[in-house]
């Protein structure tokens, strides 16, 4: 696959991922949405289907990484880093583009929701975070993840563990013949792995397990002209980036020790 194929595939695929994944969060959160309050099960399966659709579309072009952690995990496994910057650039651009499209699709719901004083609330406080976080706005959870209990060590560990499960599952099955990404069976299996991680490990932090999926939409949230949106919780933003990358490196290392 060429450099242009990788960039285009990752941009399109990651845009679909954040459009559909962010869309299910918007559908469940925003006032005047028909799916409001559908629950955690809908979120986990919604994100699983988002992975499935995005990966099927992009796999022929780029191998459907759609996630810097997947790219890093495969690079650690193979020891080949040449294409990593291209993958990461496509993923970040796609994640931001998909979030903008999601906002357009739910534009009216965002306006109604943020005009209601009952929906404007302060962010939750945690044992290591005694000061109000005015930067954690009332609709930030539609774009990016955040912890239920703000505890740096626990939050970071949760993201490392969840991403480790994802990457080791990907590396041990379903890579294409060239080893650069997901094959057809791998796409299906990986979507169910994402659902399983969400159901089992998503409760503490919202299971980012993907730096682009969290950081790209967080940037979009910061830039969008939304009244009463609050801030983008940049104090937490490093955890969904560093945690998944650490988990990916550990998974790639374990694969080389135990499975290679």
Neighbours of 18 (CB within 10 A): 31
So what's the pLDDT on residue 131? 46
Is 7 part of a structural domain of the chain? yes
**What band does 177 get if pLDDT is binned at 50, 70 and 90?**
low
Domain extent, residue 231, equals 3-108+130-258
Please name which of 140, 91, 97, 101 lies closest in space to residue 23, comparing C-alpha atoms. 101
| Residue 115 counted as domain residue | no
Whether residue 128 has pLDDT greater than 60: no
Region at 238 (left for phi over 0; alpha for psi -120 to 50; beta for the rest): alpha
pLDDT value of position 137: 86
Domain assignment present for residue 123? The answer is: no
Instruction: Give the residue carrying structure tokens 């799916």.
Output: 35
Instruction: Note whether residue 66 is domain-resident.
Output: yes
Mean of pLDDT values over 154-159: 98
Q: How many domains does the chain have?
A: 1
Name which of 186, 223, 6, 183 is nearest 97 in CA terms. 223
Domain CATH for 104: 1.20.1080.10
- Whether 31 shows a pLDDT value over 70: the answer reads yes
Domain presence at residue 199: yes
Whether 88 is in a domain gets the answer yes
Are the beta carbons of 142 and 226 closer than 8 angstroms? no
Q: How much is the average pLDDT of 153-177?
A: 91
Dihedral angle computed from the Cα positions of residues 98, 100, 105 and 111, in that order, rounded to the nearest 10 degrees: 150
Is residue 205 one of the residues assigned to a domain?
A: yes
* SS3 track for 156-175: HHHHHHHHHHHHHHHHCCCE
Q: Is 114 part of a structural domain of the chain?
A: no
Q: How far apart are CA 93 and CA 10, in angstroms?
A: 9
């Amino acid at each position: 696959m060429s450099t242009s194929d990788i960039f285009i595939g990752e941009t399109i695929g990651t845009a679909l991922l954040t459009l559909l994944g962010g869309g299910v969060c918007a559908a469940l959160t925003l006032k005047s949405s028909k799916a409001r309050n559908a629950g955690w099960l809908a979120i986990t399966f919604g994100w699983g289907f988002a992975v499935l659709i995005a990966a099927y579309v992009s796999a022929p072009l780029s191998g459907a990484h759609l996630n810097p952690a997947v790219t890093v995990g495969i690079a650690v496994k193979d020891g080949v880093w040449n294409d990593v910057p291209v993958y990461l650039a496509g993923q970040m651009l796609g994640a931001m583009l998909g979030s903008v499209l999601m906002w357009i699709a739910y534009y009216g719901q965002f306006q109604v929701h943020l005009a209601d004083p009952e929906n404007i609330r302060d962010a939750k406080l945690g044992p290591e975070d005694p000061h109000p976080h005015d930067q954690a706005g009332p609709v930030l959870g539609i774009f990016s993840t955040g912890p239920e209990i703000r505890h740096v060590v626990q939050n970071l560990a949760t993201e490392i563990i969840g991403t480790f499960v994802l990457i080791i599952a990907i590396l041990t099955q379903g890579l294409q013949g060239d080893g650069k990404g997901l094959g057809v069976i791998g796409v299906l299996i990986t979507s169910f792995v994402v659902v399983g991680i969400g159901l089992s490990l998503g409760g503490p932090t919202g299971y980012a397990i993907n730096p682009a999926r969290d950081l790209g939409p967080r940037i979009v949230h910061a830039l969008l002209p939304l009244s009463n949106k609050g801030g983008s919780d940049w104090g937490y933003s490093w955890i969904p980036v560093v945690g998944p990358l650490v988990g990916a490196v550990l998974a790639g290392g374990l694969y080389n020790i135990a499975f290679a």
